[in-house]
Homo-oligomer: A and B are copies of this chain.
Amino acid sequence: MLVPLLSLSLPQSPPPNIVFIVSDDAGYGDFGFTGSLQIKTPNIDSIANEGVEFTQGYVSGPVCSPSRAGFLTGRYQSRFGHEDNLAIGEVQPGDQREDIGLPVEERTIADYMKAQGYTTGLVGKWHLGEEDKFLPKSRGFDEYWFLPGGSRPYFDQKVGKAMAIQSNYDPEPKVTYTTDDFGAQAAGFITRNAKKPFFLYLSYTAPHTPLTPKPEDEEEFAYITDNRRRKYCGLMKGLDRSVGVVLDALKTNKLDQNTLVIFINDNGGQIQAGAVNAPYRGMKGTFLEGGTRIAYAMKWPGKIKAGMKFDGRVSTLDILPTALGAASQGKSYEVAKPFDGVDLMPYLAQSKSGDPHETLYWRMGFTGAVRDGDWKLIRMPDRPPMLYNIKQDPQEMNNRFAENPNLVANLFKKLFAWEKDMIYPRWNTAPVWYQDNAQRYDRDGLLTQPPGKPGL
């Protein structure tokens, strides 16, 4: 499919570099720019402050692998059955290890950027399949320093194949403290490729478990008595420091003006690992706001006005079309399969108005959700449906299902009509996760206000 864009007399500046930074399992309220009173994240905040903060930014999946399958393809991951998490070893009978990964028929953001002449790089966590055919080398990445799996120890230790760092430019990858290592590798990629347009996907494991920050990163939080929260805060501190190294590398190489930097967290915070999704209810794994609304910011000096807050509904599915739009500079490009995301730049430039997405959809296993305008319906396997007015009740405290039967019926129809174009999950994690996932809807409401010093 060719997407013809308006080819006006655009300035012939070089195409922007793109640095796409993802944190892992961070709480919504655990960044400075999203309101944390405990955790300072000046470097990550600078992306929002020098650009735009999306106050209604949603991931397409509430857990790591599906969320990544969505934002790396720009397509609802249920279209290609990448719906359940990718927890090899915990899959159910009948699922074949060799089938489990981002289906090879899908093109990634790296494939698209490469087609634009970009040098593409991956640093950090992959979590989209461990078989050869699923690995970054087959998915459009020129350079990589990454782990195939979903998490690993932060410090150097003997680990299995899914956790061991692989690289095609570093013959003996050494781990000191992964969060710092990823920052250093990202800075190295930027410096090596400074002379031509590049796309970097920097995918931290922080602050995902294990809760083992650098000891010195914990010190600032010594007043926090909750062990998990204190260590989690230490992981966040390391994350922000590492992002600072990357932003500095852009400045040092004089690339900060012509680089689109995108920051997101991959899904709702894991409450039991110390994350705080305040002011939202719910957590990773749920379709409550605390599971799907995430810290989301972009900066691109001169193109995105500094200090913007964009309140329309956006998705991480928009990242690929936005990056591709920026890279193609108004020229048409080929799209292998239609995106569900949209290019956000026209909205940020105010040449388009309204919400980029009137309706957003989610499905994982038997659980589904639809956000349509201000309303959200959550369809559960273990309890009656939930209906919330997100504008009036962003904390989802007041289930208005019973009083709105027609609206509910329409939202069910809308969700199901969307599912017409989806396929069933290609694999499933073990049934225990199906149960666990539902229980997560009850682990909520505790932390709807950001904790302040003296904290938890």
CB contact under 8 A between A431 and B424, given known A384-B409, A416-B382: yes
CB contact under 8 A between A419 and B431, given known A94-B426, A365-B424, A381-B368: yes
Residues of B within 8 Å of A382, CB to CB, are 412-413, 415-416
**Minimum CB–CB distance for A366 against chain B, Å:** 6
- Tell me if A438 is interfacial: C-beta within 8 Å of chain B: yes
**Minimum CB–CB distance for A21 against chain B, Å:** 31
- When the two chains form the complex, which single residue of B381, B419, B426, B427 contacts A93, counting CB atoms closer than 8 Å? B426
- Tell me if A36 is interfacial: C-beta within 8 Å of chain B: no
Can you name the residue of chain B whose Cβ is closest to the Cβ of A412?
B383
- Tell me if A99 is interfacial: C-beta within 8 Å of chain B: yes
Can you name the residue of chain B whose Cβ is closest to the Cβ of A387?
B384
- Tell me if A371 is interfacial: C-beta within 8 Å of chain B: no
CB contact under 8 A between A416 and B384, given known A366-B366, A424-B428: no
- When the two chains form the complex, which single residue of B381, B416, B428 contacts A419, counting CB atoms closer than 8 Å? B381
User: Do the beta carbons of A81 and B93 come within 8 Å of each other?
Assistant: yes
User: Do the beta carbons of A92 and B423 come within 8 Å of each other?
Assistant: yes
Residues of B within 8 Å of A421, CB to CB, are 431
Residues 371 to 394 of chain A near chain B (Cβ within 8 Å): 379-385
A-B contact pairs, 6 of them (CB 8 A): A366-B368, A368-B381, A383-B409, A383-B416, A384-B409, A402-B402
When A and B form their complex, which 8 residue pairs have the shortest distance between CB atoms, in order from nearest? A382-B416, A424-B428, A94-B426, A92-B423, A383-B412, A420-B435, A384-B408, A382-B412
